[in-house]
Amino acid sequence: MAARWESVLQGYDVSRFEGEVREDLLCSICHDVPKDPRLCQNKDHIFCFAHISRHLHQNSHTCPVCIDPLTPETLRRPTGFLKNYLEDLKIKCDHHDRGCPDVVRLEDLRRHVDQCGFAPVMCGNEGCGTEVNKSDKEKHERNFCQFRIAKCHDCGAIKASQDEMKESIDAMKQFQAEMSAKQKEMNVKVDQMN
C-alpha cells in the first residue's frame, strides 16, 4: 500500500471517472489523469507536476518521453482545449468508498471533498478512537459512542459512560426489587391485622 503522501501526489485513477478518458491525456509517468498537470515545452507531453518535478530533480533536465531539454522553469500549464477538457472531466468523490454518491467536475473536486459529509473524522469523545463520516459525527458522539457523557433520565446525574449508566440502572433495579419485597411484606401484615 502506498504511503499517504504518495497517494496525494499520485494522479487520479482512470476508474474514478464517468465515461472514457483520452489515453493521450494521461500522465506520461504514472498513466493516470494528471494532478496539477504540466506540459513539456516543445511537444506537449503531459505529466503530474509532482512526478515531472521528481524526475527533473532526480534524473536529468530532459523530458522523459521525447528527451528534449526541460527544466522546472520551462514546464507549462495546460491552456485552452486541454485545460477545459481536464477541468470538465466528471470524477467520483474521494470518499466514494465511504458512501458518497457524488460525481463532480474535476475542477470542483477539492471544494467538494473539503465539504463532503462522508469525509472521515475521529469521534471527539475522550477515549474513543472511532473513525466516522463527518455527517455522522454528532449522532455517533451523542447516541452511539460507548465513551459519551450521558445524563441519567431518573436522577439527572451526568454519567461518563454506558458502563456507569448500566451500574446505576442495575442498582436502581435492585433497590426497586427490595422496595417491592418490603411492600409485599407490609401488605401481608396489614391483611393479618384486619
Q: How far is CA 122 from the centre of its chain?
A: 10
Please report the pLDDT score of residue 6 as a whole number: 46
Q: Tell me the fold of 2-118.
A: Herpes Virus-1 (3.30.40)
Distance CA 62, CA 108 (A): 32
pLDDT at 163 (0 to 100): 64
10-residue stretch averages of pLDDT, the chain, 194 residues long: 51 94 93 94 90 89 90 92 94 96 97 96 91 95 83 61 70 88 88 82
pTM beyond cutoff 0.75? no
Domain boundaries, the chain: 2-118
